[in-house]
Structures are given as structure tokens and as C-alpha cells.
Structure 1
Amino acid sequence: MALRIHFTADDLARTTVVARPDHMWELVNSLHVLQSPCPPSEYGPWLRHVRSRLDRRDLRAPIRCVTTLVPRRGDFPDFLTPPGAEDLGASLDRIRATAAARLRRELAAQFGPRTPPPWVRRLADGDRSARQDLQEALATYFHELIAPQLPLIGETFHLVRAQHGHDVLEGGVERLLRRLPPCIRWTPPTLTADYPLDRDLHLRGRGITLIPSYFCAKAPVTLIDPDLSPVLVHPVGHPPPSPADPEGLAELLGRTRARALRALNPPCSTGELALRTGVSIGTASKHASVLRRAGLITSTRRGCMVLHALTPLGRALARRR
């Protein structure tokens, strides 16, 4: 089964990439990871953080609220991911201001013949207290479980966005579309993506907005309503584990720093280094500082990121067996 997105020349000209991570898309995608019976291993550190927060604070009520609208499988309402918001607060304001007619339409489509919980029925009726309850549940979930992950989400996003920009400069939008993750294939004039059902989306000259998402684990996601501004939320492509340490290098540097040294080929940001070595951003930054003081790597600031690269000495040591 596949999602087929049909482009015209005007659509290619109007294809864009969002400028910053979309907090609500990260939130709803994280709910799919949280509810998955077999989540991908790269989300292990985040899931351990979730468990630690659940041990310290009762978050069952907000999690129950948001998972009612965003189940493990199946559709969730489009109004949960409003476009163009600069931060979570702006997104929550737009969600709370959703027209009552749209709430009723999208919630009715989601639940179908099933009987929704009482608070969802009140929400569909436009009840102010139900809107407030939803807003508070989303805010609590985000601040408790997503906010600590934002540095890694941000660095990963900007790394992917920079690659998209490089692809456009080197070969135009079609090169960008050809170099999306393997679950998305470009065969002009159609972009085909793995999807839970067969669906065709005709852009009709509106273009499309690409949204790289850290928590988009497997298949891309798009909006249900074809009349809304088209978006394609796609995985960022987590890197594979780094190769084994060279003989003796772990004894010299320590296992994690040896892994970090090997992981810096090719050069990468602190967030990417954390992903490649399976540690937190703070830990990756500390190991990078030690390697830099030893003359094994260089660190250069590029906008909001710090790019780390091996020196000739570091490269020779990483390759030595």
C-alpha cells in the first residue's frame, strides 16, 4: 500500500521545507512510538526517560487524554497539527481556537460508529472546559516528555534540513525528492511513499511542505483532508550503530570516546554524534571536548550547530588496528 503524491511543474516550484521542528507533529509522532509494542531501538533512551518520569509523577491522565485522540494505529484529527506555528504555545492557541464545525467533523470521522468518551463528545460540541482540558493535557505531555529531547530533535532536524538545502543547490527540487528516505520514491511526476493504505494526493499547483520529524519512526505521515495545505512528514533517517572499536583504542581512550572517534567519519554535529554513539547530547559534548583538547578533533560552529571533524592525528588513530 502506498501514498501517491502527484506533482505538476508548479508544485515542484512551490515545494518547501519547514524552517524549524514542528512541535505538534513531534508530539503526535512520539505517541505512536510510545504506544508501539516493538519501538525502534533508537528511541530506547527516550523511552527510558519516559519511564523515569512516570515513576516520579502521575502522568496517566494527560497520556490517556492524548492517546484517545492519537491511537497506536489509525487516523488522528488534523486540527492537532496546525500549520505555521512558531512554538508550542502558538500551536495550542490555534488548536483551542478550532472552529466547532471542524471539531465535530474530524472527531466524527475518527471515531466513526464507536462511542467516544464523554469528554470527547463535549469537545465535539465546542465545550470550553473540554478544550481547556485538551490544551492542558497536550502541554503537560510535551513539557514532561518531549521538552528534554528538544536539543537532540533540533540538531537532528537542522542537519537534515541542511542536507535538503544542499540537494536543492546541487540538483534542484527533484534531487531533493530523489534523496528522501528509502520509504519515499520519486518517479516523476509522482512521489510514492509507504503508507498504511492506498491513497492519491493531487497537489493541483499548491506545492507541498516537507517536515522532517525525529519521532516519525517508519512511514511518512500526511493530513487526512486533501483540501488542507499539503504536507509530508518524513523520517529523519537515524544513522546505523558505529563500527566496533579498533583493537586497543578502547583501552587507550575509554570505550565511549573510542566509539565517538570512529563515529566522526564523516564529520557531524554534537546531536548527530549523540545519535551515532547512543549517548545524550551532554555526554557527547563532553567527550568531544576531551578529544578536542587531545588534538584528535576540531570543532567549528556553523550557525546553531557545532560541527566536529577528525584531525589528521585523530584520523590515523581511528584507523589504526
Structure 2
Amino acid sequence: MVLRIHFTGQDLARTRLHRDPHPMWELVLSLHVLQSGSPLNRHQHWLRAARQRLGSAPHARADLRLLSTLVPPAGAFPDFLTPVDGTGPFEAQLDDVLSTPRPRRHAELGQVFGAQRAPAWVAAFADGEQGAARAVRIALQRYHELVLRPHADEIARCVLAEREARVRSLCTGGAEGLLASLPGCMRWEPPVLVADYPGPDRDLHLRGRGITLIPSYFCHGKPVGFVDAELPPVLVYPVGADVVPERAAVELGVLVGPTRAQVLRELRATRSTSELARRVGISVGAASKHAAVLRSAGLVHSVRERNTVLHGLTGRGVTVVSGHPPAESPLGELHPGGLVPSAG
């Protein structure tokens, strides 16, 4: 069973690579791993720890029963659980999920359950009943806090290493080089990307919309995408086995402290001091001090642009966060006035 994704020249120009782990795709796909297991070594440590934590936590059994109803171990799950824009923090993603319009909830939950009778709470959730929506939010929050947040560094390291490998291919071969370099469950047969797929054979014509490629720690075996072909196209695929870094002997949070570890992770993208403070949940003054300490350690560089100070990771900082040396980027380092091309 395969998915054939048809590209035009315009689609190649609009092919994008998602920057960070997508909070909701990782959550949904981790539920698949938890329910069905995974043959991949990288999941075994997480799987043992998750089962142990869930086995001893109050409410965990009820939360899992609810979540596994929405996300069964095989088959479709509602597209609205994985918002198109996965760049915000987990709580913002939850807001997007819970603000899904009622007609769309009805349609997508109807696709999941088909002719079989859905539990009463699912019908209430589809109707927008506040109690059911609150139960879904709480179950998602508790699951995330219990079994995903403790492994955030490892998940981010793997996804960032995969992204850097694809950026290297993009730099040397353009969009087609990127597509040709994707892991073995996908193959580039110009102008079509052919991917092993869990559903029936399917053709997806991008029609000039382009596609967002989302590397995922928990995806394994076969890539997945939205059920609804009219949604902005995405392809969620497993990180390549050749780029998965070994588990660090010392976790980043232990090395620099949890707040500075979060600051480093946020600075994988260039951010102003105020944006950094907002994303980490600290004051602007505290964000500035953390950036200064990390800058003195050679992990962060900062430049002033008019009234704004912009911060980003140095090559050493990328290595500390990802466990891999940075890919050469055509954008280069930060300089006053913004990003400038690397010297050839």
C-alpha cells in the first residue's frame, strides 16, 4: 500500500521542513507506540518508562481509555487532533484542538467511528459540550506531563538531528535532493514521492500548495498524513535511523539546569529577548540574563537590530542541544542587520 504525492515545480518551491517536534503529532503517534509497541530501539526506553509511570499514576487508566478511543491503535483518527501549525507550545496546540468548529468535529469523529456506535461522551464532545471538552483537555494534559515532557530533550535531539541531515541535502541538491534523501520508507521518483502507507493506495495531488515534511520521533514504519486531502498537505515521517543520536550520558537539563535547557531549545530558532521570555515563561530580565550566561559560554550569539536584541544558537550551541555538529546553512550566522549568506 502506497501514497503517491504528485509535485509540480511550484510544489517543489513550496516544500517546507518543520522546525521542531510537532507537539500533537508526537502525542498521537506515541499513543500508537504505547498501544501496539514498536520494533525500534529508540522507543524501548520510553515505552518502559511510560508504562511504569502510567501504571502508578491515579486517573491514568481512565485517561488512556479516553485517549485510545479517539486514537485507536490502528486506523484513522481525527485530523483536528493534529493542528496544521505545530510551532506553538503544547497548551496553544490544545487550544487549537478544542476550538475545532462543531461541524468539523462531527464529520471527523464520524469517519473514525463509522457505523459503530460511539460512546456517549464522544457524541457530547462532538456537540461541543463543555464537560466532555474539559475531560479531553485534562486527559491530554496529564498524558503529556506524565510520559512526554520528561523525554522532551531526547525527542528534540532526534528530530533536530534529522532536520539537520535534510538541510544538508537541501543545501547540496535543492528540494529534489531533500526529497531523494528521505528515509527508506519513501522514494523520490520525479515528479512523484512514493511512500509506504498504512491505508489503501492513494494519490495526493499538491496542486501548487506545496507540502510540509514533519520528522517525528514516534512515527515508525510508515509515514502518515491528514485523512482530508483538502487540508494543507503534510507528511509526517520517521526520523532516519542513521541520524538518531545516542542517548546523552548527561541530560541537557542536568548539565545547565532546566530553565537554561529550555532557553537553549527555544533558541534553535532566532528569537528576540521578549519572545524568548514569553515562550519560556520567565521575565524579560531573566531571559536576558540567561542569554548572557549562555553567550559567555559560547553557546548563544546575540545581535542588536534597532531596539531589539536577537538571540540564536552558535555552532557549539547546536551541538550541545542536538548531539550533532550543525549543518552548513545557506543562511549563515546572525550579523547586525539580520541573516547574511555564509562565505563560499
Where on the TM-score scale, by shorter chain, does this alignment land: which range? Answer: 0.7 to 0.9
- Deviation at 1:56? 2.5
Larger Cα Rg: Structure 1 or Structure 2?
Answer: 1
* Matched residue type, 1:24: M
* Matched residue type, 2:246: L
* Matched residue type, 1:13: A
2:202 to 195, 199, 203: 199
1:214 is aligned to 217
Matches within 5 A, 1:101-250: 101-196=103-198, 197-239=200-242
* Matched residue type, 1:141: Y
Aligned residues: 262
Which sits farther off after the overlay, 56-65 or 211-220? 56-65
8 Å Cα contact 2:153/2:251 also seen in 1: no
8 Å Cα contact 1:152/1:281 also seen in 2: no
Take 1:308 and 1:220, find their aligned partners in 2: how far apart are those partners?
24
Please give the TM-score of this superposition, normalised by the length of structure 1.
Answer: 0.77
- Are 1:282 and 2:242 an aligned pair? no
8 Å Cα contact 1:155/1:305 also seen in 2: no
8 Å Cα contact 1:164/1:176 also seen in 2: yes
Please give the TM-score of this superposition, normalised by the length of structure 2.
Answer: 0.72
8 Å Cα contact 1:17/1:161 also seen in 2: yes
8 Å Cα contact 2:159/2:217 also seen in 1: yes
> Could you say if the C-alpha distance between residues 50 and 231 of structure 1 is closer, same or farther in structure 2, counting changes exceeding 3 Å?
same
8 Å Cα contact 2:219/2:237 also seen in 1: yes
8 Å Cα contact 1:208/1:232 also seen in 2: yes
Where 1:273 maps in the other structure, the secondary structure is coil
- Deviation at 1:280? 6.2
8 Å Cα contact 2:38/2:220 also seen in 1: no
- Deviation at 1:273? 2.5
1:248 is aligned to none
Q: Which whole-Å deviations, capped at 9, do the CAs of 1:136-187 have from their partners, x for residues lacking one?
A: 1111111101111110111111111111111111010101100101000100
8 Å Cα contact 2:224/2:236 also seen in 1: yes
Take 2:249 and 2:69, find their aligned partners in 1: how far apart are those partners?
31
1:60 is aligned to 61
Take 1:29 and 1:93, find their aligned partners in 2: how far apart are those partners?
19
> Could you say if the C-alpha distance between residues 22 and 43 of structure 1 is closer, same or farther in structure 2, counting changes exceeding 3 Å?
same
> Could you say if the C-alpha distance between residues 238 and 81 of structure 1 is closer, same or farther in structure 2, counting changes exceeding 3 Å?
same
Take 2:225 and 2:238, find their aligned partners in 1: how far apart are those partners?
12
Matches within 5 A, 1:258-297: 272-274=245-247, 282=251
Take 1:208 and 1:167, find their aligned partners in 2: how far apart are those partners?
17
Where 1:152 maps in the other structure, the secondary structure is helix
Q: Provide structure 1 residue ranges, at least 5 long, that are not aligned to the other structure.
A: 240-267, 287-298, 310-321
Take 1:226 and 1:303, find their aligned partners in 2: how far apart are those partners?
39
* Matched residue type, 2:218: F
8 Å Cα contact 2:38/2:44 also seen in 1: no
Where 1:160 maps in the other structure, the secondary structure is helix
